[in-house]
Structure 1
Amino acid sequence: MKALDYALRVTRELGLSGESSCIDRQKPLRMYIAVDGRLPGRPDHDVALLWTERHGWAIAAEDGADLTVVAHLGGAVEPPPHAVARWVRGLLTDQWPAHEMDRPLDRRAG
């Protein structure tokens, strides 16, 4: 499956095992990848990387069962895995501008 391969490549670029990730194969296709680290300004929240085949990548702060999207990676829906990893690392180190969206999503949305 192309999406699974893509998710694995992104996960590897981030140095993650992929144990805390999932792919929802129903249309639209969606992915959830738990990310190590914290977002600046949200030290008490876990971080998740979300992807949909329509909108591409977003990063979210987890608060219980809710995911609050804090930034979207613009451009291509399937950018190269190294570009996704660079974007995530930049957000985690506060070196990439994130536009707050404050849109709670159900955990299943990832």
Structure 2
Amino acid sequence: MPAQAGPERSAEDGGDVVKHDGAHVLADALADYVQVVAEAVGVSIEGTSFEVTDTATAYLALGNRAEAHPDRDLMLVWSAPSGWVVSVETRPGEEPVVLSRPAGDLVPAPEVVAELVAEAVAGGVGVGRPLALVREADWAGLARRMRRRAGSR
């Protein structure tokens, strides 16, 4: 089951009232978005994880390999500052090997992500420009976009 951030409790309320802040809204939306992206790229939900803390990230273990790296597993990672990135799984201390990242939308449609993965597996390199950092204050808007992409599951 995917990991997600637990509810925060404030000191003022003695921990009895759960705060429903942007991080929790984003965690719910990210869970749905990751599920539809996983379906689009052919990854079971067991091969996914996500977390929303001071940043937001998601990980999908891809079941295919790139022509350029036939002996290495691939991963699809999403983060609030970078969007989706297809990379080679690396060992600790090893430099990241980015195969592809889209330019533009931080929350592309699942079909666009699936195309990105297919291009990376086939040997295409599509490294777009880095995306703008999403601050926590913008997480509600990011969550709305994820919900639209996920079809409001």
Given the two structures, how large is their TM-score scaled by the length of structure 2?
A: 0.59
Rg comparison, structure with higher value: 2
Match of 1:84 in 2: 113
Which of 50, 63, 81 aligns to 1:36? It is 63
Amino acid at match of 1:97: V
Report the counterpart of residue 125 of structure 2 in structure 1: 97
Match of 2:81 in 1: 54
Count of residues in Structure 1 that have an aligned counterpart in Structure 2? 98
Structure 1: 5+ residue stretches without partners: 100-110
**TM-score, length of structure 1 as denominator length:** 0.79
Shift of 1:28: 1.3
Q: Percent identity?
A: 24
- Deviations, residues 60-85 of structure 1 (Å, cap 9, x unaligned): 10133455323221110000011101
Aligned mates of 1:64, 1:57 — CA distance in 2: 20
Aligned-residue offset at 1:87: 1.2
2:37 corresponds to which letter in structure 1?
A: V
Specify the code of the residue in structure 2 equivalent to 1:62: E
Give the number of the structure whose residues are more often helix, by fraction. 2
Higher strand share: 1
Q: Which residue of 2 aligns with 1:13?
A: 40
Contact 2:102 2:126 (8 Å CA) reproduced: no
Which of 89, 100, 103 is 1:71 aligned to?
Answer: 100
1:93 shift after superposition: 1.6
Cα shift at 1:98:
3.6
